[in-house]
Amino acid sequence: MFTGLIFSLSLCCLGQANAQEVIEVGPFSKATTDAVFPEGWVPLNLGGAELKTQYSLVKDAAGWVVRADSHNAASAMFYPIKIDLKKTPIVEWRWKIKNILKQGDATRRDGDDYPARFYIFFDYDPSRLSWFEKLSYEAYYKLYGAYPPLAALNYLWANKLPVGTLVPNIYSDRVQMYALQSGEQHAGKWMVQTRNIYEDYLRAFGEEPPAVLGVAIMTDTDNTGEQATAFYGDIRLLPSPE
């Protein structure tokens, strides 16, 4: 289960990706001097931490981007959107970190922090759950009034994990994590990431993916108690190159 996840959405908030064009999920670079966060993005509590990561729009050499500042804190910014992964399976984004977390360690609960994460959430589907898992999801629903996601892909800027590593999250194997960057070699540099969500889900879970529920960006430091600053650039959904 998604420990500490507070996940409640109205279906009216969900966008629908059009596979005939590029979908700008996070058009941060188009911000104005008012620096208003793009419409549709909402705070999301993923860790249950008392202190929350602070997200703001700032302007740097790359233009308008999201800055995340976390000091012994954890929370995310979430964008709900439905995606047909057979038509629009590609996600592309830019990110940059100021520093890694010295105590970050994906194999330990007290090390499950990352300067930058990018999530893909998949919708609840009771047909894919065991009887015991259904009980857990129903209990969550009674407590929060919404079902948590069935699963999630989590792309990481890790501390120690070798680039390309796929590991389950220490709290739940329904969250599978890909290390796309690791260590401080590229700290301070904008890095562009492009992933095929459909193929990554097949590799991570060994089955066809359910419907996508949304995406999120996250910088968290609540387990290590450290401090991290990260930046997130535009996020786009793209049709298959085929």
> The domain that contains 233 carries what CATH number?
2.60.120.260
In-domain check, residue 119: yes
Average pLDDT value for residue range 207-227: 95
Percent of the residues in the chain that have a pLDDT greater than 70, as a whole number: 90
In a domain, 131, yes or no: yes
Q: Rounded to two decimals, what is the model's pTM?
A: 0.89
Q: Is residue 110 part of a domain?
A: yes
Does the pLDDT value for residue 9 go beyond 70?
no
pLDDT at 6: 53
Summarize the confidence of residues 124-133 as an average pLDDT: 86
Average pLDDT, integer, range 148-176: 94
User: Is 12 a residue whose pLDDT tops 50?
Assistant: no
In a domain, 2, yes or no: no
194 found inside a domain = yes
Q: Determine the pLDDT at residue 19.
A: 43
Q: What is the pLDDT of residues 39-91, one digit of tens each?
A: 899 999 876 778 999 999 999 887 899 999 999 999 999 999 998 898 889 99
12-24 average pLDDT score: 60
11 compared with 86, residue with greater pLDDT: 86
Q: Is residue 6 part of a domain?
A: no
Classify residue 4: in a domain, yes or no: no
Residue 197 CA to residue 25 CA, distance in Å, equals 15
What is the average pLDDT score of the chain? 88
- What domain range includes position 43? 11-238
Structure token digits, residue 177: 């994590």
- How many domains is the chain built from? 1
Report d(CA 135, CA 133) in Å as an integer.
5
Inside any domain, residue 5: no
pLDDT at 129: 85
